[in-house]
Structures are given as structure tokens and as C-alpha cells.
């Protein structure tokens, strides 16, 4: 890397990393820089020169920037933020020994300086020292004086995500969103992760939460197109497509649209249908008496209609039990796709909600808690003809934010041999 490229990289990095290095390589979020002014020094010369140094860095005047930073150190050799910025400068220039030395100096002056801890954690991450980076981010997050620990948690998630530790990164993103549901970087990353894991409804839910609080850019719009294509919502995909082309006509994302797949059919319900059918078939086969079948084949006139009806009812109840178990397991594991797949397309939400708004609200309610545990007791199945059943039970819900216990009733309908929820009370 030549000097000009190093400097260019540094100028792009400074406004982001001064605020806890929450730069998102994929989505290029516009993070506002925090104020450098702190109560660590009463030396206005040191403070003024540091601010001037940062301003020159943003403008691309490397020589004046370094001059002002050195003047800041001369005025106050114990002003931690100056060493923090100097660490960023050397990191951008590729002088990693000096970068680490200055980050450590800043932290030694104030070991509770979360800005320095975040930037040092980011530095360690770029050096693939992941265990060290994670510890530094956690130290920043656990600082009781730190007003935005979610920033450090998001940084930890970003670090692990970029190094392939997806499951661990998800935990940090979730924890950050628990503290602050408006962390855009965490929302986008969770949307991206769920998309890559083919959890398209969850991906949509996170992206919708993002667009409620932040404007789209080219990459988030392209992500929206891909999500809706996989969910089979051509109208939504077309809306994202039009917005992308109109707002960012010369972007790489528009150019890449030709490589995106055409709208796909929704696969989640079909997958669950096949799983349910397999389970029902296996369970039914276990109850087959070969001798009785053989006897029945030789004398069909001897078939007892009442017994056949009883067997059919038993099989339906087994299938209903399977559907209820899948619904509860998806709920407890916060699997939005699996949860919503338990409801029929004909399901009518209460309170006059549209299906899309209901799905969105349910997705948010599933994803918001840190954990969910749902258990049922006293389950009763009341068959209402061949294709309908009322299921009643006592439901116990518990999460890290709320808990309750209530009696609940569901009305299920057999659709394409699979029992799905069409009403709930």
C-alpha cells in the first residue's frame, strides 16, 4: 500500500472509529462522530490541537494533521484521546506496532475510556487476535459509566462476523438490540445472517425494523429485493427494485441485479408439509398389523366402519399434536419462519390487522426477547368433522422481559393433509 492509499483509508476511517469503530464494511453506515472534548484535560491547547488534527485528517492534509496531533501531545502528554487518535492514524498507515503502543497508552491513562477500548478492540480484530479483541470489547461494554454499551457489543459481533464466527456474532447483535433496538448495524447484520441461513421471514423482520429508523442505501435495498424474491412477494421485491434504480442508478447493486434470481415460490410451508407427512406416515406404519391387513384384503366385507373412523380420528389427532409441537418449538427457539408456517394462509388476525402487519408484529415479538420458553399443559383436541379441530390448553410463556399464564384455544384446519392454525383465542 502506497502512502496516498494509506492516507485515504485513514480519512475514511477516522469519522467512524472515533465513535467506537462501528464501521460496517458492507453497508457503509453514516455514523456521526462523537465529541472529542472530554474532562480529562483542562489544557485548551491540547484539546484545540487535537480537534484541528482530526479536521485536517478528514480534509486529507496528512502533514498538518500530524503536526497538530504532536502539538496536542506537547501541550499535555497525559491526554488520552490524543493517543487514541494517534493509534488510529498509525493503524491506517499500517504501522501496527506504533498503533498498538498508542492505544495501550491511551488505555493506561484511563482504563475506562470506552472509545479507546473500542478502537483497540477493532485493531486487535484486524490482526486476527479475536480472543483478545472480544475481551477488550466486553471490558468496554461492562463499564458502568459507558452510556452506550450496545456499541461495544455490536463491535464484538461485527468482529466475530467478519471472521466467520456467525453464531457467536448473533449473540452479541441480539444483546446489543436488547439494550438499544435502534442499532442499525446490528439490525442489518441480523437481517443478512438470517437471509444467508434461509430464514427469510426473520431477515424481512429485521430489515423492516431497520427501515423504520434509517434511510435505505443501495446495499440494504438489494438485500430487500433478495429477501422478497425468496419469499415470493413480487410486489415488495418490485418496490425495492424501483427504489434502488431510481435512488442509486449508477451503483454496483443496480448492475448486479441481472445476477439475482427471479421470484421464487414460498418454500417454508411446503417443507413443513413434507416433514409432517413423513412423520404421520411413519407413525401410521408402526400401528399396522400385517396379519389384520392380510385378513382385511381377503374379505373387504368384514371391515368395521366404526373402527375405520376411529383409526382416522386417531391419525388426525396425532397429526394435530405434531403440528402443535412444531408451532411451540418454533416459538421457543424464536424461529420466525417455522412459527409463521404453522398458520394457514386463510388465518384472519384479530383487531382487524392485515396479514402482513400481523406477521410483522409477531416476528418482532419473537425476535425482541433474549430468550423465550413456552410450555403447554392439559392439551385437549376436539374434532369438528373431518377437516377441523378445536385445540385447548393452558399456555405458560416466559422470557427475559415478560411472563404470563393463560388458557388458549386454537381452531385448526386440515389443508393439503397438514393441520394449520386458522383462528386463535
The model's pLDDT over 177-201, given as tens digits with 9 standing for 90+, comes to 999 999 999 999 999 999 999 999 9
What pTM did the predictor assign?
0.59
pLDDT category, 277, cuts 50, 70, 90?
Answer: low
Looking at residues 386-415, what average pLDDT do you find? Answer: 88
Looking at residues 201-225, what average pLDDT do you find? Answer: 94
CA pair distance 187, 398, nearest whole angstrom: 24
pLDDT category, 224, cuts 50, 70, 90?
Answer: very high
Q: Which residue has the higher pLDDT, 283 or 127?
A: 127
Which residues are registered as beta bridge partners of 391?
A: 381, 410
Predicted confidence at residue 62, as pLDDT, reads 72
C-alpha distances in angstroms, 348 versus 321, 324, 345, 382? Answer: 22, 18, 8, 21
CA pair distance 331, 326, nearest whole angstrom: 9
CA pair distance 295, 252, nearest whole angstrom: 70
C-alpha distances in angstroms, 93 versus 57, 69, 90, 98? Answer: 12, 15, 5, 10
Number of C-beta neighbours around residue 120 at 10 A: 28
| Ramachandran area for residue 416 (φ above 0: left; ψ -120 to 50: alpha; else beta) | left
Looking at residues 148-176, what average pLDDT do you find? Answer: 94
Q: Is the pLDDT of residue 219 over 60?
A: yes
pLDDT category, 109, cuts 50, 70, 90?
Answer: very high
List the grid coordinates of 158. 461485527
On average, the pLDDT of the chain sits at 80
Which residues are registered as beta bridge partners of 420?
A: 413
Q: What are 308-367's pLDDT values in tens digits?
A: 445 567 788 889 999 999 999 889 888 888 899 999 988 888 777 788 888 888 888 888
Which residues are registered as beta bridge partners of 390?
A: 382, 411
Lowest mean pLDDT among 135-139, 192-196, 304-308: 304-308
Q: What are 262-275's pLDDT values in tens digits?
A: 434 345 455 555 66
Which residues are registered as beta bridge partners of 406?
A: 395
Torsion, Cα 261 267 268 274, to 10 degrees, reads -150
3-state secondary structure of 183: coil
CA pair distance 193, 161, nearest whole angstrom: 9
Q: Is the pLDDT of residue 2 over 80?
A: no
Across the beta sheet with 418-424, the strand order is 372-383, 388-399, 403-415, 418-424
Predicted confidence at residue 193, as pLDDT, reads 96
Lowest mean pLDDT among 43-47, 62-66, 89-93, 271-275: 271-275
> Exposed, middle or buried by CB within 10 Å (0-12, 13-18, 19+), for 411?
middle
CA pair distance 38, 359, nearest whole angstrom: 46
Which residues are registered as beta bridge partners of 408?
A: 393
Give me the residue label for grid cell 434470481. Answer: 261
Give me the residue label for grid cell 462476523. Answer: 161
Predicted confidence at residue 15, as pLDDT, reads 40
Predicted confidence at residue 312, as pLDDT, reads 62
Q: Is the pLDDT of residue 153 over 90?
A: yes
Amino acid at each position: 500500500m502506497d502512502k496516498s492509499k494509506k492516507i485515504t483509508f485513514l480519512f475514511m476511517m477516522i469519522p467512524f472509529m472515533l465513535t467506537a469503530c462501528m464501521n460496517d464494511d458492507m453497508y457503509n453506515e453514516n455514523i456521526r462522530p462523537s465529541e472529542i472534548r472530554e474532562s480529562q484535560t483542562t489544557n485548551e491547547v491540547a484539546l484545540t490541537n487535537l480537534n484541528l488534527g482530526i479536521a485536517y485528517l478528514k480534509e486529507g492534509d496528512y502533514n498538518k494533521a500530524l503536526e497538530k496531533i504532536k502539538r496536542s501531545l506537547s501541550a499535555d502528554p497525559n491526554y488520552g484521546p490524543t493517543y487514541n487518535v494517534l493509534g488510529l492514524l498509525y493503524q491506517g498507515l499500517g504501522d501496527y506496532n506504533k498503533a498498538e503502543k498508542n492505544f495501550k497508552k491511551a488505555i493506561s491513562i484511563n482504563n475506562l475510556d470506552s472509545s479507546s477500548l473500542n478502537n483497540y478492540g477493532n485493531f486487535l480484530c484486524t490482526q486476527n487476535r479475536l480472543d483478545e479483541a472480544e475481551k477488550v470489547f466486553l471490558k468496554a461494554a461492562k463499564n458502568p459509566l459507558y452510556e452506550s454499551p450496545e456499541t461495544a457489543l455490536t463491535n464484538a459481533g461485527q468482529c466475530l462476523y467478519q471472521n466467520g464466527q456467525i453464531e457467536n456474532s448473533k449473540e452479541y447483535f441480539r444483546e446489543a438490540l436488547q439494550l438499544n433496538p435502534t442499532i442499525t448495524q446490528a439490525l442489518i447484520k441480523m437481517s443478512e445472517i438470517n437471509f444467508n441461513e434461509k430464514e427469510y421471514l426473520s431477515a424481512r423482520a429485521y430489515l423492516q425494523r431497520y427501515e423504520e429508523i434509517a434511510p435505505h442505501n443501495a446495499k440494504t435495498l438489494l438485500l430487500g429485493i433478495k429477501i422478497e424474491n425468496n419469499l415470493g412477494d413480487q410486489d415488495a421485491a418490485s418496490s425495492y427494485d424501483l427504489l434502488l434504480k431510481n435512488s442509486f442508478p449508477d451503483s454496483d447493486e443496480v448492475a448486479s441485479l441481472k445476477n439475482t434470481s427471479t421470484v421464487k415460490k414460498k418454500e417454508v410451508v411446503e417443507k413443513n408439509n413434507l416433514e409432517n407427512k413423513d412423520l404421520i406416515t411413519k407413525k401410521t406404519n408402526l400401528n399396522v398389523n400385517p396379519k389384520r391387513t392380510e385378513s382385511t384384503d381377503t374379505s373387504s366385507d368384514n371391515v368395521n366402519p366404526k373402527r375405520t373412523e376411529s383409526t382416522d380420528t386417531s391419525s388426525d389427532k396425532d397429526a394435530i399434536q405434531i403440528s402443535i409441537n412444531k408451532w411451540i418449538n418454533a416459538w421457543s427457539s424464536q424461529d420466525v419462519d417455522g412459527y409463521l408456517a404453522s398458520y394457514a394462509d386463510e388465518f384472519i388476525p384479530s383487531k382487524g390487522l392485515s396479514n402482513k402487519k400481523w406477521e410483522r408484529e409477531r416476528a418482532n415479538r419473537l425476535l425482541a426477547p433474549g430468550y423465550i420458553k413456552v410450555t403447554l399443559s392439559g392439551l385437549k383436541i376436539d374434532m369438528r368433522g373431518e377437516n377441523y379441530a378445536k385445540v385447548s390448553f393452558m399456555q405458560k410463556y416466559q422470557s427475559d422481559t415478560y411472563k404470563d399464564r393463560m388458557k388458549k384455544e386454537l381452531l385448526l384446519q386440515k389443508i393439503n393433509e397438514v393441520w394449520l392454525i386458522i383462528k386463535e383465542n
